[in-house]
Amino acid sequence: MGAEYDLDAAIRKVPDFPRPGILFYDITGILTTPAAFRYCVEQILERYRGEGLGGVAAIEARGFVFAAPVAYALGLPLILIRKKGKLPGGTYHARFTLEYGEDEVEVHRADVTAGSAVLLIDDLIATGGTLKAACSLLEQGGARIAGIFGVVGLPFLNYDRPLEGYPVHTLIQYHGE
């Protein structure tokens, strides 16, 4: 598909955000650079086209941005995973731990098809907690996780532990500073 693209050049590193000691990897530069965004979408399509997927799931909010064009291009349903209280009707829900507390995500029950293979997309994989909760939601509905994709991976935060057993792929990884 598309030519190689230097994603590192498009990702801004912001020290001490959202609090001192944290280095924040800001992917908005990818979104404001059409060639970088196109490269990301093309790489996802190249990797997962022909995999027999039944849906593409995305985590609020930046995961939606990458998953929507993928679902569209593959002609698949887009399954939105949202923070608690954002979806009307029946939902599956899962709690997860953050470094500063707990949170909860939900998905519409009607959006998850039992037996379908689902690709789960987010912009950045840090500790893996949110993605593990998202996998749990989809599995509650009988779906199978065909893959987890993140544009950016931070393996130094050990996301491999909570996501053990799931196929995880990223386009770029940072190994700490």
Residues in contact with 120: Cβ distance below 8 Å, sequence separation at least 6, in sequence order: 57, 58, 59, 131, 134, 135, 138, 145, 147, 148, 149
Annotation marks residue 99 as catalytic: yes
Nearest Cα neighbor of 37 from 26, 50, 25, 27 is 27
Annotation marks residue 82 as catalytic: no
- Among 46, 99, 104, 164, the active-site one is 99
Neighbours of 164 (CB within 10 A): 10
- Are the CB atoms for 105 and 86 separated by under 8 Å? no
The DSSP string of 104-171 is: EEEEEGGG--TT-EEEEEEEEESSSHHHHHHHHHHHHTT-EEEEEEEEEE-GGG-TTTTTTTS-EEEE
Instruction: Give catalytic residue positions.
Output: 62, 99
